[in-house]
Amino acid sequence: MNKAELIDAVAGAADLSKADAARCIDAVVEVIKKALKKNDSVTLVGFGTFQVRKRAARTGRNPRTGETIKIKATKIPGFKAGKGLKDAVN
């Protein structure tokens, strides 16, 4: 399912116009992004938790030259599915 199909599904399920559904989806995504940027987590009970995870610095290898390179530590977004979502999938 892509974003347009998601907008159509939300519009139909919530009895909204497609424009209103698109604004709602965009707003939810923006709020989650802002929370993660502040290192907050977003928990939707029954669905899952969005959180920032830390990836430690490590060494890697350049595939072209074979030389060893240093890869900096980074923060990445993560998602852990909740029980309700896991049960719905299985």
CB-based contact 41:53 (threshold 8 Å): no
Domains of the chain, by residue range, sit at 1-40, 41-90
Residue linked to tokens 């939707």? 44
Cα–Cα distances (Å) from 62 to 31, 49, 65, 67, 70, in that order, read 37, 34, 6, 5, 10
Torsion over CA: 23, 24, 28, 34 (sign): positive
Query: What pLDDT digit, counting tens, does each position of 39-88 carry?
Result: 999 999 999 999 999 999 999 999 999 999 999 999 999 999 999 999 99
pLDDT tens for each residue of 16-45 = 999 999 999 999 999 999 999 999 999 999
The CATH fold of domain 41-90? HU Protein; Chain A (4.10.520)
pLDDT of the residue at 60: 95
